[in-house]
Structure 1
Amino acid sequence: MSVETTEKSTAPVARRRSPALTWLCWLLAAPGLLWALIRLPGLERGPLVQLVAFTPYVAGWALAPLVLAVALRRRWPAVTAGVVALTLIGAVAPRALPDSAATGGPPLRVATANMLAGEGDAATVVGLVRTHRVDVLALQEFTPQTQAELDRLGLAELLPHRQLNAEVGTTGSALYTRFPLTDTGIRRNAGGFTQAYGTLAVPGAPPVRVESAHPMAPHALSTLPDWWADLRAQPAATPHGGLRILAGDFNSTLDHAVLRRLLGTGYVDAAAAVGQGLVGTWGPYDGDLIPPVTIDHVLVDRRIGVSGVSVHPLPGSDHRPVLAELTLPRS
């Protein structure tokens, strides 16, 4: 009898689970859950605006709490972590999956580069244009020094048509093209950055409105109002009208709600269309331990096909140029 009593008394002890491990599972799942609740409905405000840019990294990390909870057989933490992982990965994974079709019209190669207040290497930019036969070059933080250096290196021979606004510091903008430009101009955002624009005449294609985009950066709480205003002021796509292309440093990723709303007007992110939407274009900055994020984009009218996107180094700048190979519809 004593042996039997001992076995009965010890059996429940063997099945007892450690509350500490259960709390650990919940503790690890909680950040991802909060992140998803902010990212999905676009509730980022204040410092969260900067944090949301790193959603792809959080999506990858979200698998860790799921694996731990499953291994420890904690059902509800596992269910919660699984929903969070599926939600965040589902939000970012499409950017790594190609989903674009060529239109069969004239090709157009568009490149964009932030010159970091003129510190970006002009020779690298000209080499990119020459090697890849770039048709449209959008530059941000374009200075008089950069303009002079590009002219000296022969950019005018490669891209003779231009709309330029060279300014000392970070506010300048430029648009160089192989094809004639009309209806050109310069727009200054609320945050101070300017945007060069014009209408491109490509043989065999309808006119294309092209603009070098550069909204304010959300680098401090004081700049957030201008960041919001600048992104909201970006020209919407005109899916039932003329073609539009916005190329530049948007200072936002596809995880920011305000940029997603702009895409919703009828744009396609070229990099995401060909499965390159998770390739970082900015960072680290000044040696800071900041993982790269994707804030430089080529947004194209959804009637424009995308056949390829590549990201290139640019010595002297903290940004990497983006080159998009497009196919315009026939006129």
Structure 2
Amino acid sequence: MLGWLLGIAVAAALLVAAWPQTFGLEQAPIVAQVVAVRMGVVGIAAVLAVLFLLLSAARRIRRFAGAVVVLLVVFMVASSGIHLSRGIDDSAVEADDGDLVVLTWNTLGDAPGAEAIAGLVRDTGADVVMLPETTIETGTEVAVLLGAEGIPFWALTTDFSNADYGALNTTLLVSAALGSYTAQPSADVGQTNTLPTVVATPDDGEGPTFVATHPVAPVPQQMRNWRADLDFVAGLCTHDASVIVGGDFNSTLDHWTSLGVGTGDIGSCVDAAGATGSGAVGSWPTWAPAWLGAQIDHVVATPDWRPVDAQVLTGYDDLGTDHRPVVVVLRPR
């Protein structure tokens, strides 16, 4: 009887770890952290499977240990399949005239420096750049460097008190070729709770709203704020507006199951990486290979934009930040 009860408990735990959406637990404490790093959990399951396979040599627990091995193997296949179904394509697509190139990079408090950020913008041909944890001083310096090369950008920022701490800054760069943009007051458009979000609208009313966002990480003391931050971002993505959001969402597609509206992943917005077959490429942390990490840095857009390419760039892992840049090509429908 004890063996059966333990077996049922193991099966239930593995089901929750593989697909917590079954029980609406994808944003629950512990579960949210587990599902964020699917391949890491699969690796742990593989080690446990070997351990229980060895334990099955003991006659008294052979049946129980064998059953656990089977459950772990089923879990590994299922969770790996879910992860890989989101795509590992890292090929690049050239942007056409009229396409919008969007770049996001959490710089860990200006760690790469203005020249490296400007070089990335130049190399990717980005039109819009979302930079969580980047101060306005660095953002302005990036804009100056690019302007000197004939690529002018507007630099907009939102910071919270004690802005000397890098995480309390979020900066948005918008190409001057798209027109002038203004950051809207939080009192008018709302705000994430712990780390700042920039919401910028075109001064002439022509063009999409750009959002550089940074929901807080789902650490135990911030779970309520994390959920509220994701709700806030989802609320910006409505069918009656043209909105492009990029940044460090501190969440994966799994966490958004209850937030999508219609065919959207979060609100009406569609995740570009998931839509173009690269949703399984990890953007964090840089010390882990991309196939093992979590994709928590995203660019999402309302249905008037069609994602045609998304890449997690692995060539910038040694520049001081623990996040990889994500570059996306969006095409107006």
TM over 0.5: yes
Q: Distance in 2 between matches of 1:88 and 1:260?
A: 21
How far the C-alpha of 1:63 sits from its partner, in A, is 8.1
Find the residue that maps to 2:197 and give its secondary structure: strand
**In the alignment, does 2:53 pair up with 1:33?**
no
Q: Rg larger in 1 or in 2?
A: 1
Letter in 2 for 1:304: W
Mapped contact 1:311–1:322 kept (Cα < 8 A): yes
**Percent identity, aligned pairs only?**
27
Moved more, 189-198 or 255-264: 255-264
Could you report, residue by residue, the CA deviation over 1:19-44 in whole angstroms, capped at 9, with x for unpaired residues? x9x99999986753341363543314
Task: With the length of structure 2 as denominator, give the TM-score of the two structures.
Answer: 0.72
Q: CA deviation at 1:244?
A: 1.2
Higher mean Cα deviation, 185-194 or 248-257? Answer: 185-194
Change (3 A) 1:118 1:183: closer
- Please point out which of 156, 163, 169 is paired with 1:163: 156
Is 2:279 the partner of 1:277? yes
Whole-angstrom CA distance in 2 between matches of 1:296 and 1:26: 36
Q: Which runs of 5+ in 1 are unaligned?
A: 1-19
Cα distance in 1 between the residues matched to 2:78 and 2:21: 10
Shift of 1:255: 1.7
1:316 and 2:320 equivalent?
Answer: yes
2:302 is aligned with 1:301 = yes
1:122/1:207 Cα in 2 relative to 1: closer, same or farther (>3 Å)? same
Equivalent residue, structure 2, for 1:4: none
2: CA distance, partners of 1:131 / 1:105: 17
Deviation at 1:87, TM superposition (A): 4.5
- Distance in 1 (CA, whole Å) between partners of 2:164 and 2:137 is 8
User: Matched residue of 1:222: which SS?
Assistant: helix
Q: Which residue of 1 aligns with 2:208?
A: 208
Q: SS state of the match for residue 321, structure 2?
A: coil
User: Over aligned residue pairs, what C-alpha RMSD do you find?
Assistant: 4.0
Query: Which amino acid in structure 1 is aligned with residue 28 of structure 2?
Result: R
Quick one: distance in 1 between partners of 2:140 and 2:36?
Answer: 35
Q: Please give the residue correspondences for 1:139-178 in structure 2 after superposition, counting only pairs within 5 Å.
A: 139-155=131-147, 157-165=150-158, 167-169=163-165, 170-178=167-175
Contact 1:118 1:145 in 2 (8 A): no
The alpha-carbon distance between structure 1 residues 292 and 186, as it changes in their structure 2 partners (threshold 3 A), is farther
Q: CA deviation at 1:186?
A: 4.6
- Cα offset, 1:182, TM superposition: 4.0
Unaligned runs of 5+ in 2: 57-62
Whether the 8 Å contact between 2:231 and 2:259 is mirrored in structure 1 is: no
TM-score scaled to structure 1, two decimals?
0.73
